[in-house]
Amino acid sequence: MSNDEMTTIDLDQILAAAAAVPLTGPASATPAQRAGWLEAVAGVLDGAADELIPLAQAESHLPAARLTAELKRTTFQARQFAEALRAGTLTPTQVDAPDAGWGSGPRPDLRRTVVPLGPVLVFAASNFPFAFSVFGGDTVSALAAGCPVVVKAHPGHPELSRRTAELVAAQLPEGLFALIEGVEPSLTALKDSRIKAVGFTGSTSGGRALYDIAAARAEPIPFYGELGSVNPVVVTPEGWAQRPGEIVGGWLDSLLLGSGQFCTNPGVVFVPDAQAFLASVELPKPGRMLNDRLEEGFQKSTALVAELPGVREVAGGPANEQGVAARIFATTLEQLDPQALDTEMFGPAGLVVEYGDTGALVDVLQRVPGQLTGTVQGTESGDEVAAEVVAALSARVGRVLYNQWPTGVSVTAAQQHGGPYPASTNSLTTSVGLAAIERFQRPVSYQGLPAGLLPTELR
Amino acid sequence: MSNDEMTTIDLDQILAAAAAVPLTGPASATPAQRAGWLEAVAGVLDGAADELIPLAQAESHLPAARLTAELKRTTFQARQFAEALRAGTLTPTQVDAPDAGWGSGPRPDLRRTVVPLGPVLVFAASNFPFAFSVFGGDTVSALAAGCPVVVKAHPGHPELSRRTAELVAAQLPEGLFALIEGVEPSLTALKDSRIKAVGFTGSTSGGRALYDIAAARAEPIPFYGELGSVNPVVVTPEGWAQRPGEIVGGWLDSLLLGSGQFCTNPGVVFVPDAQAFLASVELPKPGRMLNDRLEEGFQKSTALVAELPGVREVAGGPANEQGVAARIFATTLEQLDPQALDTEMFGPAGLVVEYGDTGALVDVLQRVPGQLTGTVQGTESGDEVAAEVVAALSARVGRVLYNQWPTGVSVTAAQQHGGPYPASTNSLTTSVGLAAIERFQRPVSYQGLPAGLLPTELR
């Protein structure tokens, strides 16, 4: 259904169907049934790769190889949730037996499990047309939890979104999935009392505006927004002495991957010697950006950083057909404007910050705005600066990397993709990995129930 | 420090000291150290019982026996967290080994643990001067997580709060604990960027006002508010046929316990025959309420319910010295005004709702505002209405009880004290039981770290 065609009645029907899905009791879906849905959709999407990838290519300007890998990751993710659902590991339970001598007074029979929150509104992202879009991580984890999902399509890839949605909806029971388009319908849905949680991936300004609406509702609802990050990298003096070429090369590869359009893009690097670090920097022509809006945003944010006091532009590459060129800026720790750490240049640009005193460096890291990731490039042992930097970053980021690079977020149980604000609006949760399901289910305890009335997993 | 004495400088010093406590790295407290703090405070409070209980009695009008049991529960709770901290069960970890053949691309070494959120602001409640006050569940679970705590004293028991705070602070390292008083200082703290989470127990209106401030900050923070609930009870036709006297007696005992001043007070009961249910109701003179504000609130909320269309007052008891009397109202399911389910009469009052058709009853239960608890009084087997009611309540409450009563919240691992809004502002968490710690710690993943740089629990 396109934006133009969507009426208030259509949206109301979508929300009514979502709200009618039973969340608890014998009519609600079992974990095994949810696993079946996810596997069915994964199979259909894999089977439609030859149709979907050209659609994605035309709308996103991303290369076929990248999109093929992304689709594979997307269906892998769904199957991973399905497998864990069947194994029972996504339905945490706790059983306390009655205990007459319990220290806070006689303890009853108390058993806890989880139930779905209810219909979830998902705002799709543009930079992953598969993995963070219609059937991306938010949708899959909400469905795994047993929640109906209403996806707001990203306008960056409308045809791909519609076709994906058709394929998804055909595999799911009535009410469990719907696609909507356009800002107005999505805001109406966000304010509707039938929506019980929100998933969002995008910019800090856009995400914050939606967060504010969710928080102001008569019934406030959880808003899981993955917003902006500059993903600081710290090169220690010992790391630099040992592997200068590898570090510069690794940083540029990660920084410029996919024209820098990743939320884990390492936009700021702290180095002991900027001149030496920059000596071997060569910047290639970037690929075409995902859409005009991102291009404009990139020009704006780089212009802002370029004009901060103490910042110089120290390297530039050739412009692509759209006039976008990679840019590297530099400053020093003493001159570092706090705004530089708050400005995500979403695209092929980075800021090199030279530090002298490592104590001053740690001070700055302790006050850095919340980040998805923080990376340390040091030595494998005996690097005392690295130890201090790891401790400081641990308090400000969701994932700490050592001698690796932050782009490429592994879809696995131990992943944490989320960090203190503004990296995300809820730092206690992750939007990637199996723990993402926790965002969409809530605990319920049962006290003294006859076995026959307990949810199956508690009997 | 009293309200009058507190200056902006005092508050700033308190927040600066809290923010200076290291949350990560070698200088941060280990779980065993945190366990030691909790045990030390528990020991000191138990030892001061002879001093604290008379203080509490004078300010709360609660009987000594109740306060003695409450203090015991409070220190038991602290020791329970301490025990779990030493056992390692409150520091959930996940380790994923590297896997070159992983389906979403080669998987790195990824290990996840949790870190403290940072300084927590706790708003103490009046109705539990020990268990939900200065060293109550919010304070204990935040300290267990490694978070510094700033408690805003409840004005209902200022002397007890100050003395408790002195005893607590003397057992804890610098910066970990402070008491503040007065509305203005608490609002200043709530808006201060050094505060990273909030715990609150109280009314829906008060809690919502504070929630709105937390959500509107430049950096929004989690607000864990336990607000209002009417805790519906459903008596099934079969349950009523089997145990009428036990059910009426059990309801009145739970409803009038502590003059009805419990958040799990079962304020609304759905019965198949109101006349029969009410036949044996006799109401005693209630004990003195906790404070004038609650007395006023009780008179206001009961007056509101009394004037709802279709509501009759069907029983009343003798007034106590303050003019407070127990009151029972009745209505029918057909005439039930939605506001009746949204109005917590915090005190000795209840509403009896007679239902005819059980389908209509289930419809109403499915749309009930979020509740801390829902109770079913049925038969031990073969009660089909009970099965439907359990399924409906599971979607709207945090704890479902069967043939038991909701007052008396066991402090245990499987407890869930929290439910959909307005029962709480975050239905994914609990404010009672070991899982309460989850509110104050967030996940951090470590990718590729040398063993020596990993947090101890991940090595």
Chain segment A232-251, per-residue pLDDT in tens: 999 999 999 999 999 999 99
pLDDT value at residue B228: 87
Same domain, B289 and B366: yes
Same domain, B209 and B244: no
Whether residue B414 is contained in a domain is answered as: no
Which of B404, B421, B425 is closest, CB to CB, to A108? B404
Top residue of A416, A430, A437 to mutate, by most chain B CBs within 10 Å, is A416
CATH number at residue B39: 3.40.605.10
CB contact under 8 A, A449 and B416: no
A chain contacts of residue B386, beta-carbon cutoff 8 Å? 453
Which residue of chain B has the CA closest to A400?
B446
Catalytic, B226? Answer yes
Structural domains in chain B (count): 2
CB contact under 8 A, A411 and B104: yes
Same domain, A285 and A370: yes
Which of B387, B416, B453 is closest, CB to CB, to A444? B416
Whether residue A418 is contained in a domain is answered as: no
Same domain, B222 and B237: no
Q: Could you tell me which residues come within 8 angstroms of residue A419 by beta carbon, excluding any fewer than 6 positions away?
A: A229, A370, A371, A372, A373, A396, A397, A398, A399, A427
pLDDT value at residue A369: 97
Could you read off the pLDDT of A371-393 as tens digits, one per residue?
A: 999 999 999 999 999 999 999 99
Could you read off the pLDDT of B44-101 as tens digits, one per residue?
A: 999 999 999 999 999 999 999 999 999 999 999 999 999 999 999 999 999 999 999 9
CB contact under 8 A, A115 and B391: no
The active-site residue out of A39, A147, A181, A263 is A263
Residue A88's region, left for phi above 0, alpha for psi from -120 to 50, else beta, is left
Same domain, B123 and B66: yes
Q: How is A198-247 classified by DSSP, letter by letter? A: EEEES-HHHHHHHHHHHHHSSS---EEEE------EEE-HHHHHH-HHHH
Whether residue B244 is contained in a domain is answered as: yes
Same domain, A347 and A445: no
Same domain, B207 and B248: no
Q: Say if residue A5's pLDDT is above 90.
A: no
For chain B, give the mean pLDDT.
96
CA A397, A401, A403, A405 torsion-angle sign:
negative
Catalytic, A263? Answer yes
What range does the domain containing A65 cover?
8-227+424-458
Beta-strand runs (E) in A253-378? 268-271, 312-316, 327-332, 349-354, 371-377
Top residue of A46, A231, A428 to mutate, by most chain B CBs within 10 Å, is A428
For chains A and B, CB pairs below 8 A equal 256
Whether residue A1 is contained in a domain is answered as: no
Whether residue B96 is contained in a domain is answered as: yes
For chain A, give the mean pLDDT.
96
The active-site residue out of A39, A226, A354, A388 is A226
**Residue B288 DSSP one-character state:** P
pLDDT value at residue B200: 98
In percent, the amount of chain B with pLDDT more than 90 equals: 97
Could you read off the pLDDT of A410-443 as tens digits, one per residue?
A: 999 999 999 999 999 999 999 999 999 999 999 9
Sheet holding B312-316, edge to edge: A94-96, A110-116, A441-447, B397-402, B371-377, B233-235, B268-271, B349-354, B327-332, B312-316
Per-residue exposure over A6-42, b if at least 16 CB sit within 10 Å of its own CB, e if not: beeeebeebbebbbebbbbbeebbebeebbbbbbbbb
Same domain, A158 and A192: yes
CATH number at residue B369: 3.40.309.10
Could you read off the pLDDT of A102-118 as tens digits, one per residue?
A: 998 999 999 999 999 99
Whether residue A126 is contained in a domain is answered as: yes
Which of A400, A438, A442 is closest, CB to CB, to B446? A400
Same domain, A202 and A246: no
Whether residue B297 is contained in a domain is answered as: yes
pLDDT band at A1 (very low <50, low <70, confident <90, very high): very low
Which residue of chain A has the CA closest to B369?
A219
Q: Say if residue A408's pLDDT is above 70.
A: yes
**Residue A261 DSSP one-character state:** -
pLDDT value at residue A26: 93
CB contact under 8 A, A72 and B104: yes
B chain contacts of residue A391, beta-carbon cutoff 8 Å? 22, 24-28
Which of B107, B410, B453 is closest, CB to CB, to A110? B410
Same domain, B240 and B196: no
Same domain, B222 and B251: no
pLDDT value at residue B9: 77
Three-state DSSP class for residue A116:
strand
Three-state DSSP class for residue B188:
helix
Whether residue A380 is contained in a domain is answered as: yes
Q: Say if residue B1's pLDDT is above 50.
A: no
Same domain, A64 and A181: yes
Which of B95, B418, B449 is closest, CB to CB, to A400? B449
CB contact under 8 A, A76 and B395: no
The helix or strand, by DSSP H or E, that contains position B271, with its residue range, turns out to be strand B268-271
The helix or strand, by DSSP H or E, that contains position B146, with its residue range, turns out to be none
The nearest CA of chain A is from the CA of B138 a distance in Å of 17
pLDDT value at residue A8: 74
Could you read off the pLDDT of B233-272 as tens digits, one per residue?
A: 999 999 999 999 999 999 999 999 999 999 999 999 999 9
Q: Say if residue A2's pLDDT is above 70.
A: no
The nearest CA of chain B is from the CA of A83 a distance in Å of 13
CB contact under 8 A, A425 and B220: yes
Q: Say if residue A457's pLDDT is above 80.
A: yes
